[in-house]
Structure 1
Amino acid sequence: MGYLFGGSGSETLVGGYGDDTLDGGGGNDLLIGGMGNDVYIVNGTGAVIQEFAFEGFDEVRTTLNAQTLSDNLERLTFIGTGDFQGTGNALDNMIVGGAGNDTLTGGDGVDTLIGGEGDDVFYTDHADAPLQGGAGFDTVFIQSNFGTYLDLAACSIERAYGGSGNDQLIADGAVIGLLIDGGDGDDTLVGGAFNDTLFGGNGRDQIVGGAGDDVIYMDTTDTVDAGDGFDTVYVHGSNSMVFMNTAGIERLFLGDGNDLVFAHQSASAIEIDGGAGNDAIEGSAFNDTLWGGDGNDTLVGGDGNDVLFGGAGDNMLFGGDGDDAFYIDTPTVAFLVGDGGDDTVYVRYSGGVNLALTYSIEHFFGGAGDDSVTAADSSNGLTMDGGGGNDSLTGSRYNDFLSGGDGNDTLFGDIGNDTLQGGSGADLFNLTTIDSDVILTDFSAAEGDLIGLGMNNFYTVNANAQGEAVLTITNANGTPTVTLSGVMAQDVSSSWFTTL
């Protein structure tokens, strides 16, 4: 066993049959270990190491920040400072980094890569290669075409990218959330107890989120078990998908296909976005949020207080039980049903909508455009607010509250004990078919408001106890009254009336 040390020049050091240590110092040295388990100390970039096959287990220890093992060398250890790039050869190597952010690349053999401290990056092309990330935030890129099993927690790896084979990347037992990308192949990805990010990649993947608030990216051929926690699943691709089991998923964003989703098995509220395509989505028994996205979608809230966004397209919206909210983004809706509960429609479309509120809608709030909305066939009374624009609002056969909002609005309460509020602008109160007592809360002749009566309608003016005008209308339905709140009886003028 010998120790050979060179100077600063270019020397040739030749070992014997034992376990030798050859330290060239600086310069362009030629180091020949010979037989035995030799150690080479490399400090200069010009050093050349010569080893032959079957001459022992030989190691290179280098202070250089980049080193590639030459032929017939088995181990590479970084003994310098800073970041290190270490590359193996065709043998089964062991490559050991230092305290910096190292990049360790194995060769064709079954290589052992040990990162040490720092945020290290590993490249391995063998399915059984052992890794040890150590401290820091470490990343592995699997370059093997064969399936790789990797226990990321045992390896202290925080970020893993699979290869083209059928990889098994397991984070069970990890002490922080990991990022796992399966890459190509039919992969199995298993998250841990923390907040993981899992990418299925290409192939038919099986993805298990585990505990924690996970984010999962999948395509339509993958299967997902989101696990515990508040989990989000993104489906990419244009193929259609049938999602029959949403258990464990709290947020689901679908792709471009015509998707079918039933959230009956969800144990908590879920948010579902249909994306592009003609989707059919049915929520859970909890308070869900459903987005139709583009396409002609069908959204069913189910039980719970649900929020339904129709999105673009000719949509059908069903609230189900609970106090549901509908958001309208198009001029028309193919079908709108509140069903049970106290349901509300909000218009987000600014160009004006044309809607018929037929089934169990209790509240309506218009948008900025000229909305035309009728509740003439509604199964219940409701409140309606036109919002901005010149709106036309028609109430139900029951007791309604209609508010025009801004603009020159037309309010038609139809029958029932209605309360009509014009809002700002020159509003028209259509009283042609009233059969019960009606209140106009803000009639203003100064703003150009008018009262519309039928061809054969007549009115007389009386005063209530406060001196406000009370009109008695004679029409085909009898003699209902209309109270003009805040308007004195003596101020009523025939110029306020028009025939419709």
Structure 2
Amino acid sequence: MAGYGRDTVDGGEGADRIAIEFDAFVDTLTGGSGADVFEAYIGSGSYAASTISARDVITDFSAAEGDRISLGVTGGRLSGNNDYLLWFGAITTPGFSLVAGATLPDAPDPGFVSVSTWTNAGSTYLIIDNNSNGTLNDGDVVIEFQGSPTLAPSAFKAETFSAVVGSANADTWTGGAGADIYFGFGGDDVISGQDGADQLSGGAGNDTLNGGGGGDTLLGEAGDDILNGDDGADVLSGGLGADTLNGGAGGDTLYAGQMGMLGFADSLGSVNRLNGGEGDDTLYSSSGKDILDGGAGNDLLTVAYGEDTPGDIFNGGDGDDEIKATNVTMDGGAGVDKLWILTGNTVTGGAGADLFEARDNDFWRWGQYGFSVITDFNAADGDRIDLGAVGGYAVGSLVFRGAVTTANFAVSAGQRYGADDLGEGATQFWTWSTSDGTYLFADFDRNGVVSTQDMVVKFSNRAVIDAASFKEAYFTATLGTAAADTFTGVAAADVYYGMGGDDLIHGGGGADVLMGNAGADQIWGDDGADTILGGEGADTLDGGAGNDHIVGGAGNDLIHGGEGDDELFAGMDWSNGVNDVNAVDVIYGDAGNDMISGAAGARGEFHGGEGDDRIYASGDIFGDAGNDTIQLGDLSIAHGGDGDDLIHGGAGPAVIYGEAGADSIYGSFQGDTIYADIGDNYVYAGDGDDRIYLGELRAGENRRIYGLSGGNGDDTFILQAAQPTASSLSISGDYGFDTLDLSLAKTAVAVDLGLDQGQNTGMGNLALSGFEAVRGGDFGSVLKGDANANRLTGGAVSDTLSGGDGVDVLVGGGGDDVLDGGAGVDVAQYAGASSNYSWVIAADGSVSVKDLRGNAPEGSDGLRNVEVLRFSDRSTILSPLNVPAANETLFSSLLRTSVASAIEKGPLGDLALTMTGAISTQEALQLVVRAAGATTSVATLAYEFFTGKIPGDAGIDYLVSPTGPNPNNLNSAYYQSFNLENRYINFAVNLGKNGEGKEAFTAKYGALSLFDATKAAYKAIFGGTPTDEKTHALIDSRTDYFAYYGGDGANGIGTKAAMVGWLLAEAQKADLGVMVKSNDAWLTDLADGSAPFAVDILDPAKGYYRSDFIYSGA
């Protein structure tokens, strides 16, 4: 084998294999003496680099001496698309030459690649039209053979050319005894395969194909063809046109149209005739008008690809046939046939005890195509109706009601079957007789009226239809009354429906189906694997022994699974799959490995009982004994109980008690409260501000915990007892501002957050990571921070707190404390007002702070390296802060107050302190922009929406600045008492209902409904129009909330303004949409003083709006 580049290869003596590489270089290949094979790999549609000018040369090819060409094909077909190679021989076109664009022999059909030769100037050229476009170009293969050898199919490896092709004219061809492949292409061809498994294709024209012996494949393709399978199990496909297909002997498969085609597999209006002949045949109609005759044997007649059209005729013939189609006339003929009723059919069973198939999902289109008509049903002759597994319901849920009782009844949607409807607890079957026939109805959607979801069948011979007309004893249920009924089952499987009233039902032995329906029912499954459905009302359900399936249904139910591995569902309506979100069920799994599921959105009390249970619910959950798996819904309380439990929080906050055993606990996406101990396996609190209580090791348990992690959020780990100190216990706060709380310690404690190894804290040997704050105990604390911003809190006696680097907050608490802030701007915080303390600054910069109140609850503290004193009413700056100029500029520009002013007074003090620390300008900008979402952005976004522009410089200062002329600015105590949503809503109502945006807002939104106004406001704020479903989800449960703040009714302008404020708040919290993103870009410019005021930030010309800010959220 040659390498990449221009190669010369000589095989020498012997039978050599020489590769033709197609590497864009001219290789010269010599086989030498011996029968050599020149190998090239040609794939369908692949690119060959050695073409036209850069072609490989073979110097001494001689087919007579045994040389051969291999093109890497199998059975005459290329790898890839499986195209056939077709031999066209010598090109004799006058003026032909090897130039791009020269005309090549064109393969007559897709799926074929032409192979030809051309001889000129002492060389023969092999040309393969690799991309089948009939033109020579760089996608094709050209190989030069010096010495002008004659190339024929025999010069190639065996089976390189397996297909024989006809011409565009009428060809007559007869194969041999083997497996022949013939393509007729154009003309009215007569093609006969003889023996062997032949593949014959007529192509265009009115062809006649004869398979002969063997399992043949006959493809008529376009034209009105006649296909004769003859002997063997043949596959016949008529293709387009009016075809006649005769299967002959053997189990044949006949397609009226194109085999493998999905939809419109035949010419509309073509009349195809399919005759199965002898054998068990399968006949498929297509989109033409077809006549199918199964002939002798047990045949299947059905629809293939594409929807069948009215007018088809399906005849089963002799044998036990199955016919399945719509909109056809079908006749089973002699034999025990299975005929699918479906829709729009005229069905005749013929002689024999026939089975008429009726399944609920097969009738949903009868309103469009009409119901089916059965002409000769006769139960006395053995005919039966087969319902199969109707709708997935147990057979006991089927009830035969007999004749329709509604006066002036008609077969039309909306007609009620009877006045005494049983409700949604059962699928009811009704009959209705008229002068022209008998009708059978099955109320599959269980709504008591005729609908397109129901089964409707007409029996034109006025057959008598009753419970005995069906294949099985489907109708075994015993029905109660509207009053209180009492049923007691036997050892066999019973089916009871209490219907109305407060029923008492005992299933007894067997796998019973017991439904209470309406009323406060009491149901006992007793022995056996029972199915119990409570229905409406406050029911008491007990499965008893066995693996039971129990569904409470609507109402507050009490459910006991009893012994066995039970499946227990709260709040679900069995008949329609709808949850009763108002249900408050109490469920006990009892013994066994039970599965308990609460209704979505509902709450209840759930007890797993003994066994390894699975509980998926919201409310109060008790795993009890066993290794349980608990998945919580929102606002749930979980008790793992004994055993090694796995507990997962849900979307909302949860309270989780691991209790005894090696439990694995995973918190929710919000703030959880978790109780664990080091006998557990793993605790991961997850997102949200979590509180994790770590208790003492339970008696009889060993320490085994592998991980304690807070996850995202500002988490607090509370050690309830000292932990064993034999080896360090690793606790990770993870992300957020996390606190280690040792306030329950009974001895002095010491913590150094700068250590990355285990340390004896007085509450155990702890290896800490990811903590920013520590709370000491009341017996003395020595707490040290690290290089980050820390918060260190002492207890009731004298403590020593050292902040280290970073912006630290030190809270000494009671006693005479020693506080050392270390590097950075640090804060000493006190609980009382500033008037309750005195402080003295010494020459060395140290500070003495004395509590002047009676008994001096916070003692006299000594401070070093502390720059700020923080009291309950204000803060005092003791020494210059040295705020980086860039941080001061962006802070004051965005929040309209200086860093020092914010530290001394106001809710922005903590944020202002971070501006003094070692953070980059970009980090500072991100923090301030985020903080502006609750202050400055409230004003800018509201004004942008209601007035079309943000306020001017003075306006923003008036609305936001805590040192400006407006006492109720957005940084004031008044607005800080509002949550974020209410700040935006208050501002929006003031502007849109009462303020300067009133006229414009009323003109655009006043005439709209709240629904349409929400869609329009959403598009303005987010950039994309929400779907109706999304809009309903946004406002349906909040209309009263908006109206309360708007003060003028569900569609009032104030209510709509409140809705706008809420949408702005949601956009700000999620940081989504064109308005918030454009506002963020404007705030970024405002931070360095380059932003213009009183500008429409949604105007693309201003440079703040971008199309990629659009968010639809649909």
- In 1, Cα distance between equivalents of 2:659 and 2:667: 15
- Structure 2: how far apart are the matches of 1:129 and 1:298? 43
Equivalent residues of 2:532, 2:543 under 8 A apart: yes
Distance 2:637 2:546 in 1: 30
1:221 paired to 2:596: no
Q: Is the 8 A contact 1:182 1:199 kept in 2?
A: yes
Residue 369 to residue 122, structure 1, CA distance change in 2 (3 Å): farther
Give the gaps of 5 or more residues in structure 2: 1-477, 573-579, 698-702, 757-767, 832-841, 852-859, 872-877, 879-1114
The structure-2 alpha-carbon separation of the partners of 1:133 and 1:227, relative to structure 1 and needing over 3 Å to count, comes to: closer
Query: Which amino acid in structure 2 is aligned with residue 283 of structure 1?
Result: G
1:317-359 residue CA offsets vs partner (Å, 9 max, x unmatched): 2222222222222379753322322222334x25589875553
* Structure 1, unpaired ranges of 5+: 1-110, 444-458, 474-479, 490-500
1:205 matched to 2:205: no
Radius of gyration: which is bigger?
2
- 157, 176, 188: which is aligned to 2:549? 188
Aligned 1:123-272 pairs, distance under 5 A: 128=494, 139-142=504-507, 144-153=508-517, 156=519, 158-172=521-535, 174=536, 176-209=537-570, 210=572, 211=580, 212-218=583-589, 219-228=591-600, 229-237=602-610, 239-241=611-613, 243=614, 246=616, 249-261=618-630, 268=634, 270-272=636-638
Within-5 A mapping of 1:368-379: 368-370=744-746, 373-376=751-754, 377=756
Matched, 1:290 2:656: yes
404, 415, 421: which one pairs with 2:794?
Answer: 404
Tell me, yes or no, if the aligned pair for 1:460 and 1:472 is still in contact at 8 Å. Answer: no
Matches within 5 A, 1:451-470: 461-462=844-845
CA distance in 1, matches of 2:788, 2:584: 48
Q: Measure, in 1, the Cα distance between the counterparts of 2:567 and 2:646.
A: 25
CA distance in 2, matches of 1:467, 1:253: 52
* 1:434 equivalent in alignment to 2:800: no
Task: Pick which of 193-202 and 208-217 moved more.
Answer: 208-217
Deviation at 1:122, TM superposition (A): 7.7
Q: Residues 462 and 220 of structure 1: is their aligned pair in 2 closer, same or farther, counting only changes over 3 Å?
A: same
**1:415 and 2:415 are equivalent in the alignment:** no
- CA distance in structure 2 between the partners assigned to 1:128 and 1:278 by the alignment: 39
- Choose which of 690, 697, 718 in structure 2 pairs with 1:346: 718
- Secondary structure of the corresponding residue to residue 517 of structure 2: helix
Q: How does the TM-score come out when normalised to structure 2?
A: 0.27
| Contact 1:366–1:385 (8 Å) recurs in 2 | yes
* Residue in structure 2 matched with residue 359 of structure 1 by the alignment: 734
Quote the offset at 1:217 in angstroms. 1.8
> How far apart are the structure 2 equivalents of 1:225 and 1:165?
21
Q: Secondary structure at the match of 1:461?
A: coil
1:183: Cα distance to partner? 0.8
The whole-number CA distance in structure 2 between the counterparts of 1:345 and 1:171 is 45
d(CA) in 2 for partners of 1:178, 1:325: 39
Determine the C-alpha separation between the residues in 2 that align with 1:472 and 1:427.
8
1:335 maps to what in 2? 707
* Alignment partners' CA distance in 1, 2:638 and 2:622: 6
Tell me the distance in 2 between the aligned counterparts of 1:294 and 1:300: 16
CA change 1:390–1:208 in 2 (3 A) is same
Pairwise CA distance, 1:315: 5.2
Q: Any idea what SS the aligned residue of 2:786 has?
A: coil
Paired residues of 1:133 and 1:157 also in contact (CA < 8 A): no
Question: 1:392/1:163 Cα in 2 relative to 1: closer, same or farther (>3 Å)?
Answer: farther
- Cα gap change, 1:280 to 1:224, in 2 (>3 Å): closer
Letter in 2 for 1:359: D
Q: Where does residue 692 of structure 2 map in the other structure?
A: 326
Q: Counterparts of 1:313 and 1:382 in 2: how far apart (Å)?
A: 26
| Contact 2:847 2:863 (8 Å CA) reproduced | no
Deviation at 1:124, TM superposition (A): 5.9
Shift of 1:254: 1.6
Judge conservation of contact 1:400–1:417 (CA < 8 Å) in 2: yes
Matched with 2:679 is 313
Whole-Å separation in 2 of the counterparts to 1:418 and 1:197:
55
Q: Does the CA contact (< 8 Å) of 2:848 and 2:862 recur in 1?
A: no
Query: Over aligned residue pairs, what C-alpha RMSD do you find?
Result: 4.7
Contact 1:470 1:481 in 2 (8 A): no
Letter in 1 for 2:593: T
How far is 1:234 from its partner?
A: 1.7
Whether the 8 Å CA contact 2:528–2:545 is kept in 1: the answer is yes
Task: Give 1:203 shift.
Answer: 1.7
Relative to structure 1, is the Cα distance of residues 256 and 460 closer, same or farther in structure 2, using a 3 angstrom cutoff?
Answer: farther
- Under a length normalisation based on structure 1, what TM-score does the superposition of the two structures give? 0.54
Q: Among the aligned pairs, what percent are the same residue? A: 25
Question: 2:621 is paired with a residue of what secondary structure?
Answer: strand
Distance 1:257 1:372, change over 3 A: farther
Deviation at 1:151, TM superposition (A): 2.3
Q: Is the 2:647–2:666 Cα contact (8 Å) retained in structure 1?
A: yes
TM superposition shift of 1:303: 2.6
CA contact (8 A) 1:295 1:312 kept: no
Measure the CA separation in 2 of the matches of 1:205 and 1:221: 7
More helix by share: 2
The answer to whether the Cα contact below 8 Å between 2:625 and 2:641 also exists between their aligned partners in 1 is: yes
Residue equivalent to 1:72: none
1:236 Cα deviation from its structure 2 partner: 1.6
Judged with a 3 Å threshold, the aligned counterparts in structure 2 of structure 1 residues 388 and 321 are, in CA distance, closer, same or farther, namely same
